[in-house]
Homo-oligomer: A and B are copies of this chain.
Amino acid sequence: MPYITVESGVLSDTQKEELMKRLTEISSEIMKIPQEFFVTTIKELPDKNFGIGGKTIDKVKAEYIQTHNKHI
């Protein structure tokens, strides 16, 4: 009974449905376990509650955009 969790920023309903569908398909294929046994949860967190390198994600994003000149 594999259990997959995704912690991320806010997502649309379509993204959530797509994620659960695709992650289950892929994992089922790799693990050789029927899809019906997979449980998935998505935990959406505000940018203020997510950090990398000790900085909140909104600051990481701003720096990334500046360096790479594209949005994330």
- Residues of A bordering B, CB below 8 Å: 1-9, 11, 13, 15-28, 30-45, 48-57, 60, 72
Contact = CB atoms under 8 A, between A and B. Distances in A.
A61 to B, nearest CB: 10
How many chain copies? 6
B54 A49 contact: no
Given A49-B43, A51-B20, A34 B72 contact: yes
Contacts of A35: 53-54
30 contacts: A1-B51, A1-B52, A1-B60, A2-B6, A3-B3, A5-B5, A5-B7, A6-B27, A7-B41, A15-B30, A20-B54, A20-B56, A21-B55, A23-B26, A23-B27, A24-B54, A28-B54, A32-B72, A34-B72, A35-B54, A37-B52, A38-B51, A38-B52, A40-B50, A41-B50, A41-B51, A42-B49, A42-B50, A43-B43, A43-B45
